[in-house]
C-alpha cells in the first residue's frame, strides 16, 4: 500500500514522503491517526505541486537549522546531578538535555533529541535532528553535584 505521509513518522519517513507499507499498518494506524493519506494519482500530482512551491521556503529553514547546528556545536553542556560514586541517583534522558539547551538559549523539542537513559557519570553524545537534512552530534558531560 502506497501512502503519502502528512507528518513525520519515526522509523518510517518524513512529512510529504511517499512510502510503501503493509496494508494493515496503513489502514489500521496511519490513516485513522491522520499520519498519512492514500497515494492516488491525483494526490501525487497535488503533492508534486506543493513540493515545488515549498522548495524555496525550505531552503531558508535549512539555512536556519545549519546556523543553529553551528551554535550547538560550540556549546559545552555540563549536567550536574546527584550521584553516589559513579552511579546516578535516577537517570539523565533527552528531557534533561532539552532543558539544558533551553537554559543555554536554544529551544529544541525533546522528541528531536536522541540520547537514551544515562545512569553513570561521564561524557556522552546526543543526536539532535534540527531538520531532515541537518543532524548534529551534541557532546555533553554528566558531573556529580558538589555537596
Main-chain phi, psi angles of 62, to 5 degrees: -65, -40
Average pLDDT rounded to a whole number, residues 105-134: 90
Place 123 in a pLDDT band, splitting at 50, 70 and 90.
Answer: very high
Give the model confidence (pLDDT) of 43-81 as tens digits: 999 999 988 888 878 888 888 889 988 988 888 899 999
Domains and CATH numbers, the chain: 2-59 (3.40.5.10), 68-144 (3.10.430.100)
Mean pLDDT in the chain?
91
Rounded CA-CA distance 100/85 in Å is: 23
Amino acid at each position: 500500500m502506497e501512502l503519502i505521509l502528512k507528518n513525520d513518522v519515526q522509523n518510517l519517513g518524513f512529512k510529504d514522503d511517499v512510502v510503501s507499507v503493509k496494508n494493515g499498518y496503513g489502514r489500521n494506524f496511519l490513516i485513522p491517526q491522520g499520519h498519512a493519506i492514500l497515494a492516488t494519482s491525483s494526490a501525487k500530482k497535488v503533492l508534486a505541486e506543493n513540493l515545488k512551491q515549498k522548495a524555496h521556503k525550505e531552503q531558508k529553514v535549512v539555512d536556519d537549522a545549519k546556523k543553529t547546528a553551528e551554535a550547538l556545536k560550540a556549546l559545552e553542556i555540563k549536567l550536574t546531578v546527584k550521584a553516589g560514586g559513579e552511579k546516578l541517583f535516577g537517570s539523565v534522558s533527552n528531557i534533561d538535555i532539552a532543558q539544558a539547551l533551553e537554559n543555554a538559549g536554544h529551544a529544541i523539542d525533546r522528541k528531536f533529541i536522541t540520547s537514551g537513559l544515562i545512569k553513570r557519570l561521564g561524557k556522552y553524545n546526543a543526536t539532535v535532528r534540527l531538520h531532515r537534512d541537518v543532524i548534529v552530534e551534541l557532546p555533553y558531560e554528566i558531573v556529580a553535584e558538589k555537596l
